[in-house]
């Protein structure tokens, strides 16, 4: 028997994306975003409310996105509960924020995978917006590359957000192959 749970999404997994940006004084900041995703192979989109990050992105037209991994779970959550309007999260986290060579936004060195993005559309303003960014470059730490030279998500251990219990989970097991496993039914 099925039960109705109301009108809030129960889609799993959701992202744990760390969106990093600079403010007008060049102070780096980072926030956690679960309502985000890769909307084409070359674009990332997300919905953000009235945050320091939103104002930064509106001003700079650029950001980076680092998917969080198991090793960075503490800072990933911290970036989602503290605000850059009150504290310098880059300093407080103890992590290393360096300037992207491709866009006007910071790269967090301790996060092994980063997408450097420039804004292509903003529906909204600094108080809340739906943002789409074009991926200009992907930076990856060699330690998470496989022998084939591609990102090995088994090594990376990505976090996902479980909105049902407001927790973080780890994914990684390979249980099938896209465009192949389903052929069993053809």
Min dist CB 168 to ligand FMN, Å, is 7
Q: Does 31 bind ligand FMN (CB under 6 A)?
A: yes
Residue 154 CA, chain-centre distance (Å), reads 18
Site for ligand FMN in 125-154 (CB under 6 A): none
Among 18, 34, 115, 144, contact with ligand FMN (rule: CB under 6 A): 34
Site for ligand FMN in 49-88 (CB under 6 A): 49, 51-53, 77, 80-85
Q: Does 35 bind ligand FMN (CB under 6 A)?
A: yes
* Tokens encoding 136: 């200009």
Nearest to 20 by CA among 136, 131, 116: 116
The CB-nearest residue to ligand FMN is: 80
Q: Does 108 bind ligand FMN (CB under 6 A)?
A: no
* Tokens encoding 147: 């022998």
Number of H helices, E strands in the chain: 4, 11
Bridge partners of residue 118, in order along the sequence: 62, 134
**CB-nearer residue toward ligand FMN: 1 or 8:** 8
Three-state DSSP at 130 gives strand
Q: What is the DSSP letter of 158?
A: B
Name the site residues for ligand FMN (rule: CB under 6 A).
Answer: 29, 31-36, 47-49, 51-53, 77, 80-85, 161
């Amino acid at each position: 028997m099925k039960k109705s749970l109301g009108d809030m999404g129960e889609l799993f997994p959701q992202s744990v994306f760390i969106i990093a940006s600079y403010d007008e004084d060049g102070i780096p900041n980072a926030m956690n975003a679960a309502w985000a995703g890769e909307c084409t192979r070359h674009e990332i989109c997300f919905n953000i409310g009235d945050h320091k990050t939103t104002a930064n992105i509106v001003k700079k037209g650029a950001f980076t996105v680092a998917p969080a991994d198991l090793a960075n779970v503490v800072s990933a959550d911290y970036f989602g509960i503290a605000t850059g309007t009150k504290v310098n999260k880059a300093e407080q986290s103890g992590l290393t924020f360096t300037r992207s060579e491709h866009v006007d936004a910071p790269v967090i060195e301790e996060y092994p995978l980063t997408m450097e993005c420039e804004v292509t559309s903003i529906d909204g303003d600094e108080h809340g917006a739906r943002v789409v960014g074009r991926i200009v470059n992907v930076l990856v730490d060699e330690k998470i590359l496989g022998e084939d030279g591609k990102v090995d998500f088994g090594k990376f251990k990505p976090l996902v957000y479980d909105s049902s219990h407001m927790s973080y989970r780890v994914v990684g097991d390979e249980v099938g192959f896209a465009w192949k496993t389903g052929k069993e039914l053809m």
